[in-house]
């Protein structure tokens, strides 16, 4: 993992956007797997501003994870986030993602796994780092699932700003597994803010543990982590 320390979040966003656009141009028909949440938002906004620099129509977008049990049009879904920040402003036509309100969760996991198996490897995967070290909804545990699955959510994830106060009693999240993520050709990991300092320090120790799922990124040959310890 290559760590780039940034003085400001603006610098982080700029450097990460540069890396993503450069990689998309090196593989124009990329399968791009995209995280949601606060960490990548500024990066996606820069990509929209700079969309003339790459061919968004050639990209296939894959949703990294999703809250299970929310209506698909609920504002807190990963679906609505991606529609707002990537799909609509970039007029992207090729998109596959979990149905947050699928009637059969196991069948939904199989559907996404079948898509992934048919299109692997992911060319570029944009991740976020959870405050407890989770990657997507691969939560700290004694064991980690390798492939697409329905994951029990920890208290940390259930207190995420996306769904806190939503009024829905959520228990699970759909997610790609760690093996699916680690097969990606390239991974971008933006991390910033005072609330991520402690978990980032643990990650920087370089010790690999299922209780810190993000630590498995040390096993990948091409991870670029852009880190700013500040909130702005």
* Residue with tokens 């990509």, as numbered in its chain: 47
Under 8 Å between Cβ of 112 and 137: no
d(CA 83, CA 92): 9
Under 8 Å between Cβ of 57 and 148: no
Kindly give, in sequence order, each residue whose CB lies less than 8 Å from that of residue 41, ignoring residues fewer than 6 positions away: 85
Which letter does DSSP use for residue 166 in this model? Answer: S
- The three-class DSSP label of residue 223 is strand
How far is C-alpha 140 from the geometric centre of its chain's CA atoms? Answer: 16
Residues annotated catalytic, as ranges: 65, 132, 134, 139
């Amino acid at each position: 993992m290559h760590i780039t320390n940034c003085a400001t979040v603006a610098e982080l966003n700029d450097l990460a956007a540069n890396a993503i656009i450069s990689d998309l141009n090196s593989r124009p028909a990329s399968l791009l797997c995209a995280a949601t949440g606060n960490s990548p938002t500024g990066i996606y906004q820069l990509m929209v501003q700079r969309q003339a620099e790459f061919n968004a129509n050639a990209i296939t977008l894959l949703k990294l994870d999703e809250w299970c049990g929310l209506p698909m049009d609920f504002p807190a879904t990963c679906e609505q986030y991606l529609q707002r920040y990537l799909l609509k402003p970039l007029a992207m036509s090729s998109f596959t993602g979990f149905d947050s309100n699928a009637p059969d969760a196991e069948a939904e996991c199989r559907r996404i796994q079948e898509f992934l198996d048919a299109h692997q490897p992911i060319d570029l995967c944009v991740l976020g780092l959870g405050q407890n070290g989770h990657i997507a909804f691969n939560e700290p545990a004694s064991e980690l699932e390798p492939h697409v699955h329905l994951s029990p959510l920890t208290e940390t994830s259930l207190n995420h700003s996306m769904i806190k106060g939503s009024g829905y009693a959520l228990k699970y999240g759909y997610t790609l597994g760690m093996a699916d993520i680690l097969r990606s050709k390239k991974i971008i990991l933006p991390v910033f803010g005072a609330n991520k300092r402690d978990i980032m320090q643990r990650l920087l120790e370089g010790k690999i543990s299922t209780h810190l799922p993000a630590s498995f990124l040390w096993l990948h040959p091409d991870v670029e982590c852009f880190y700013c310890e500040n909130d702005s």
